[in-house]
Amino acid sequence: MPHHDLVIIGTGSGNSLITPDLEGLDIAIVEEGRFGGTCLNVGCIPTKMLVVPADRVVEAADAARLGVTFAPPHVDWPAIRDRVFGRIDPIATGGEAYRRSQDFVTVYDQHAEFVGERTLRLADGTEVSGDHVVVAAGSRAQGLPVPGLEHPDPARGLHTSDTIMRIDALPPRMLVLGGGYVACELAHVFSAYGVAITQVQRSDVLLTREERTVSEACTAAARRRYDLHTSTTVTAAEHVDGVWRVSVLGADDRTEVLEAEMVLLAVGRVPNGDRLAVERGGMEVDEHGYVVVDDHQRTTAPGTWALGDVCSHWQLKHVANHEARVVAHNLEVTLGRRDGQLQRADHRFVPHAVFGHPQVASFGPTQQQLAASGTAFVTHTQRYGDVAYGWALEDLDGFVTVHATPEGQVLAAHCVGAMSSSIVQTLVHAASFGQPAHEVARGQYWIHPALAEVVENALLGLPTSEARGSM
């Protein structure tokens, strides 16, 4: 049985674990798919490369409000697709080639399952073990528990985000099932490219994990662009003569049949721990199938660590990267490659963004969550349209909501509108470093008339004791 000092399962953020301090160890990498993981191949990077041209199309249409009109856009889908994957695929191929070139790294390009603590069986029957094992196997898109929709079938036009971005041609119609960030981003993309979108969401709003006002704003914006069915449940589906006929039950208990040439299943992602049989490796999983880890990213099995989507409910690349840095440090300490103490992962203020139109970004608890927990807080909402750059944008929908303690410590922020993913970062900084809200607002210059003034005014609007004390 091949035995290694370190076995890494997964080549997303797991691939970054091989730091200079660990080079020279006997390291194995287990990867049955493409190097680079979800983010590089089917997630963050290709979707954002598709979002950028989609944004340009929508912005051009919106420009009429500013007194500028353009001819209807021509969308060259093969050119857009090939630009994306013409850049991404060589990175994945090159990453694998580089690891294979390192004489202290062994690459096993097969599926693997645990058969004991720190011991894996590969698809060809070979067993591989390690002194330390890192599980960084990510997550996968799931289907719907409706006959015909349980599993993707790209040959019949039934896709997940794993395959929808590589289709040969745009369909006339697409049915998007789901209302989370994947569904909303890709509905935005394909709607902008000229596909007739119908989106089905079982809840009454899209993006249900967001602040309620953010969810409502995004839902209203989506209704203005395409056919949206909320409070609607999928009950049946069939594929006849190249067309999907999906039966849905609405809030009024009426059944309707929706038709489209292509269906996107965007109903969530599940961790891949079950595919690895992690419990046979001594690891506990929670009720949702995530590998249980402590603050140091250690699992319940000795010598076994986990990071990223396989153990993190956030399912965010920047969280996986942070956890990978923690695991790399802790491995170096454990293996005697560096002095110091084990590091703890910091998940206090985890931001996320939804790159739809409008953009969304937030971190921290919602107003409903704060109220339910009994936390004392104050809040203020600043609309984009009430600052100078918001006037220039003719923005009618964008806003920033900040929640803080009565003493002025930022607890959370929820943004919707242009550049939200960048706007929120100042507030993440303030919360992470414990900077009082009024101090952040008054302790520095804010460029006028930049859109960042919306953050300044949101902080100044908080009715905190620190603000009252500075008057």
Mean pLDDT to the nearest integer, 88-93: 97
**Domains: count for the chain:** 3
| Per-residue pLDDT at 74 exceeds 70 | yes
Shared-domain flag, residues 7 and 135: yes
| Contact between residue 421 and residue 428 where contact means Cβ atoms under 8 Å apart | no
| Per-residue pLDDT at 264 exceeds 60 | yes
Q: Is residue 348 situated within a structural domain?
A: no
**Rounded-to-integer distance, Cα 240 and Cα 141, Å:** 25
For residue 393, give the CATH number of its domain.
Answer: 3.30.390.30
Shared-domain flag, residues 163 and 208: yes
Over the stretch 10-57, which tens digit does the pLDDT of each residue have? 999 999 999 999 988 999 999 999 999 999 999 999 999 999 999 999
Q: Is residue 341 situated within a structural domain?
A: no
Task: Concatenate the DSSP letters of all residues of 41-61 into one string.
Answer: HTSHHHHHHHHHHHHHHHHHH
Q: Quick one: angle between helices 181-192 and 44-62, nearest 10?
A: 50
Q: Is residue 344 situated within a structural domain?
A: no
pLDDT band at 242 (very low <50, low <70, confident <90, very high): very high
Q: Is residue 147 situated within a structural domain?
A: no
DSSP-derived 3-state class of residue 354: strand
Shared-domain flag, residues 26 and 169: no
| Per-residue pLDDT at 471 exceeds 60 | no
Q: Is residue 458 situated within a structural domain?
A: yes
Shared-domain flag, residues 10 and 125: yes
Shared-domain flag, residues 35 and 103: yes
**Rounded-to-integer distance, Cα 249 and Cα 167, Å:** 29
Q: Look at residue 469 in the predicted model and tell me its pLDDT.
A: 61
**Rounded-to-integer distance, Cα 112 and Cα 127, Å:** 9
Domain's final residue, options 267, 291, 306: 267
Q: Is 125 exposed, middle or buried (0-12, 13-18, 19+ CB in 10 A)?
A: exposed
Shared-domain flag, residues 441 and 380: yes
Shared-domain flag, residues 177 and 35: no
Q: Which residues are catalytic?
A: 448
The structure's pTM equals 0.96
Q: Is residue 28 situated within a structural domain?
A: yes
Mean pLDDT to the nearest integer, 205-233: 98
Shared-domain flag, residues 232 and 275: no
Q: Which of 252-256, 271-275, 440-444 has the least mean pLDDT?
A: 252-256
Angle at the Cα of 423 (from 418 to 427), degrees rounded to 5? Answer: 150
Q: Look at residue 251 in the predicted model and tell me its pLDDT.
A: 87
Shared-domain flag, residues 298 and 401: no
Counting residues of the chain whose pLDDT is more than 70, the rounded percentage is 99
**Rounded-to-integer distance, Cα 264 and Cα 377, Å:** 40
Provide the pairing of β-strand 227-229 with 304-306.
unpaired
Q: Look at residue 23 in the predicted model and tell me its pLDDT.
A: 85
| Per-residue pLDDT at 460 exceeds 80 | yes
Q: Is residue 396 situated within a structural domain?
A: yes
DSSP-derived 3-state class of residue 315: coil
Q: Look at residue 228 in the predicted model and tell me its pLDDT.
A: 98
SS (H, E, C) 165-194: CCCCCCCCEEEEECCCHHHHHHHHHHHHCC
Shared-domain flag, residues 416 and 452: yes
Q: Is residue 323 situated within a structural domain?
A: yes
| Contact between residue 370 and residue 428 where contact means Cβ atoms under 8 Å apart | no
Domain encompassing residue 312 = 3-140+270-334
pLDDT band at 203 (very low <50, low <70, confident <90, very high): very high
Give me the residues paired with residue 259 across strands. Answer: 245
Mean pLDDT of all residues in the chain? Answer: 96
Element (H, E) at 378: strand 378-383
Q: Look at residue 470 in the predicted model and tell me its pLDDT.
A: 58
Shared-domain flag, residues 123 and 8: yes
| Contact between residue 217 and residue 358 where contact means Cβ atoms under 8 Å apart | yes
Q: Look at residue 466 in the predicted model and tell me its pLDDT.
A: 75
Q: Look at residue 465 in the predicted model and tell me its pLDDT.
A: 77
Over the stretch 287-298, which tens digit does the pLDDT of each residue have? 999 999 999 999
Shared-domain flag, residues 298 and 412: no
Over the stretch 368-390, which tens digit does the pLDDT of each residue have? 999 999 999 999 999 999 999 99
For residue 90, give the CATH number of its domain.
Answer: 3.50.50.60
Mean pLDDT to the nearest integer, 198-225: 98
Over the stretch 117-175, which tens digit does the pLDDT of each residue have? 999 999 999 999 999 999 999 999 999 999 999 999 999 999 999 999 999 999 999 99
